A = this chain, B = another copy of it.
């Protein structure tokens, strides 16, 4: 994923407080080539995990999750943060603190779409503190399904999310790791 790293350095903006703007290719505008390359690579790394479903959180996880699921040929479920009018019946809910917005975010998945025989891969655009991904992992376990791995496009290594997710005991893959964003820098591992 040299192209991903090149784009992070060329177009990423360090907005301070650990916030990385990658709106030109991942978050607001999506570079279709890049996201499908990322999805193929994540799928390749989990090719032997017997994945039956990819789970992510709306909104910015949807594109990398869909690209990965496309390559793995499985469905995607995206956890909702607000309960849509169509979400009736049993719902699995977990809560995660929101770093960028403050307060808590509730992640909801309909009981219809996570089953005990599912082998689930969690995909998100960022692995930072790990709080959102941890909540998604808890949703998977809540449903009695098997968590088989975690994948992210960009990891903020300095936020130590990887260490905080170690308790889950599954492989964690990210395609680019940022080791330092202090003093306006963007340093890749």
Using CB atoms and an 8 Å cutoff, list the residues of chain A in contact with chain B.
13, 15, 19, 21, 23-24, 27-33, 35-36, 58-59, 62-63, 66-67, 69-70, 73-78, 80, 84-88, 100-101, 109-110, 112-113
Contact = CB atoms under 8 A, between A and B. Distances in A.
A27 B70 contact: no
Q: Which of A15, A69, A73, A74 has the most CB of B within 10 A?
A: A69
Contacts of A63: 62, 66, 76
Given A59-B58, A112-B24, A75 B19 contact: no
Contact of A32 (B28, B29, B30, B75): B75
Interface of A is mostly: mixed
Contacts of A58: 58-59
Nearest to A99: B85
Contact of A86 (B23, B36, B59, B109): B23
B28 A110 contact: yes
A35 B62 CA distance: 13
Contacts of A35: 66
Contacts of A78: 28, 30, 59
Contact of A66 (B13, B15, B24, B32): B32
17 contacts: A13-B86, A23-B110, A23-B112, A23-B113, A28-B77, A28-B84, A28-B86, A28-B109, A28-B110, A29-B75, A59-B59, A59-B62, A59-B78, A62-B62, A62-B63, A63-B66, A85-B101
A87 B23 contact: yes
Contacts of A15: 85-86, 88
A84 B100 contact: yes
Contacts of A33: 73
